[in-house]
Structure formats: C-alpha cells, structure tokens
C-alpha cells in the first residue's frame, strides 16, 4: 500500500526573500501604506512611508537595498536599508558614527503585514539584515523608531537594540490667551458746551441715574423765575 503523503500543517508557511523589481513597486507601496496606517495615526514624526516620489527614487539608488519577503507569492514583509546616509531628508550625521569607529547599516524600513506579525517574519528580516551587514563590513544596524510605537520598540529592545544619543520630541504648553481683546466700554462724547452726549456707536453706556424729582423741581424753579 503506498504511503500516504503527510499533509502540511496549515500554519506551516515558508517565507522567501528576494530583491525588489520595478514591477513590484506599486504593490509594495500599497503594502507599506497598509502596514503603517495604524502606526502613523499615533506618531508625531514624519509619516511612513514618506512619499511615493521618494519611494520610487529609492529604487534607483545604488546605496539602498530593498528586499521583499513573500509567502506563496504574496508580500508579507519589506525591508529597506542604506549603506550610506544619503538624500537631503536623512536623519543622521555620518560623522557621529565615524568618530566612534562605527560603520552602520541604516535600516530605513522594516514592515510585516499585520496578518503575519508574530510569526517570525520580522526575525527572519532582521537575520537577513544582520547577514547583509556582516557581508558588507558594517558593524551596526542603526534605525529610528517612534518612542510611542511601543510594540516595535519592545521588539527591538528584546533583540539587543539600544538607544543612541538622539533627539527626542519635547513640547511645552503656552498659557492660552485669545488673540482678540475683550470688549471695552466707550467714553461719553464731550459736547461743545461741555455737556456729555450719548455715544453714537458701540455698546450702550451704563445707565445714568437721574433724580427725577430734583430735575422736575429745578425746571419748575426756572419756569417760575422766567415768568416773574
């Protein structure tokens, strides 16, 4: 009787790495937007991936290696690393590393499809980057991660990544004040003969109390004087 073929357990998958091709660019861009959608909502830093223009430029750079990780032909991971700090928007000072005898491999992007996270794809990618670093004579993997990307940060820390002397974002609250001043009470306008008149514009003046009885009395006195 022929031996029955052992079926593969459904969760046993094989991930393969290869260099990116021009024909992969559009779907890789869509893949990156999907992976970073939730991460971006929470970070103050530049958004990942930065821009499609930059992403397409990267493909032509000889200093940058873009690798795709696939399971059955579908992209499940992407890594991007640079052997030089190139471009006008890079975030490092190469002299800082030179002074310390470090030759870094800059890990610009590391992304695993949400459905495949926690299954070892990221570890495979990191092994691949370590391998590349060794074969190219680099001494360190260097990367930037948002401090509040807690799951990624914890993931790096358990893999012996440590913090470099780098910038952190600080903010100080400025006491709140409205731009516009509060309303201001207007002066009564002076008439030519020295009497005050009611203002013609602006808020109503405060109520002026008039002694009605006294006024009537003085008018009566004046009328009497006039008639006498």
Give contact residues for ligand COA (rule: CB under 6 A): 35, 39, 110-112, 117-123, 143, 145, 149, 151-152, 155, 158
Among residues 78, 83, 77, which one has the least CA distance to residue 63? Answer: 83
Q: Of 39 and 199, which has the nearer Cβ to ligand COA?
A: 39
- Cα dihedral: 101, 105, 108, 112 (round 10): -130
Cβ distance 178 to 159 under 8 Å?
no
Q: Of 114 and 197, which has the nearer Cβ to ligand COA?
A: 114
Half-sphere exposure of 225 (CA within 13 A, CB side): 6
How are beta strands 140-143 and 189-190 bridged, if at all? unpaired
Q: Return the DSSP state at 227.
A: H
Among residues 172, 127, 171, 169, which one has the least CA distance to residue 149? Answer: 169
Query: Nearest approach, Cβ of 17 to ligand COA (angstroms)?
Result: 13
Q: Of 24 and 108, which has the nearer Cβ to ligand COA?
A: 108
| Rounded-to-integer distance, Cα 146 and Cα 148, Å | 5
Query: Nearest approach, Cβ of 67 to ligand COA (angstroms)?
Result: 13
Count of CB atoms within 10 A of residue 198's CB?
9
Query: Nearest approach, Cβ of 134 to ligand COA (angstroms)?
Result: 19
Query: Nearest approach, Cβ of 27 to ligand COA (angstroms)?
Result: 17
Token duo for residue 193: 């003969």
Q: Of 15 and 199, which has the nearer Cβ to ligand COA?
A: 15
Count of CB atoms within 10 A of residue 109's CB?
20
Query: Nearest approach, Cβ of 39 to ligand COA (angstroms)?
Result: 5
Which residues on neighbouring strands pair with residue 81, listed in sequence order? 65, 107
Q: Of 38 and 57, which has the nearer Cβ to ligand COA?
A: 38
Query: Nearest approach, Cβ of 202 to ligand COA (angstroms)?
Result: 59
> If you search the block for the tokens 């990191």, which residue do you land on?
126
Q: Of 83 and 116, which has the nearer Cβ to ligand COA?
A: 116
């Amino acid at each position: 009787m022929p031996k029955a073929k052992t079926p593969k357990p459904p969760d046993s998958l094989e991930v393969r790495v290869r260099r990116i091709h021009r024909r992969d660019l559009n779907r890789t861009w869509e893949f990156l937007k999907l992976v970073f959608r939730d991460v971006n909502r929470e970070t103050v830093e530049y958004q990942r991936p930065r821009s499609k223009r930059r992403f397409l430029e990267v493909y032509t750079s000889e200093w940058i290696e873009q690798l795709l990780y696939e399971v059955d032909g579908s992209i499940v991971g992407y890594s991007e690393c640079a052997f030089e700090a190139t471009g006008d928007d890079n975030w490092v000072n190469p002299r800082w590393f030179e002074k310390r005898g470090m030759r870094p491999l800059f890990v610009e992007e590391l992304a695993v499809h949400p459905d495949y996270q926690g299954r070892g794809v990221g570890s495979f990618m990191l092994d691949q980057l370590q391998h590349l670093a060794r074969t190219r004579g680099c001494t360190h993997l260097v990367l930037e991660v948002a401090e509040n990307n807690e799951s990624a940060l914890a993931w790096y820390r358990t893999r012996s990544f440590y913090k470099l002397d780098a910038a952190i974002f600080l903010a100080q609250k400025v006491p709140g004040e409205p731009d516009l001043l509060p309303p201001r009470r207007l002066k009564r306008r002076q008439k030519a003969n020295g009497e005050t008149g009611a203002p013609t514009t602006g808020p109503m003046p405060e109520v002026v109390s008039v002694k009605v009885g006294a006024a009537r009395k003085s008018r009566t006195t004046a009328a009497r004087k006039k008639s006498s």
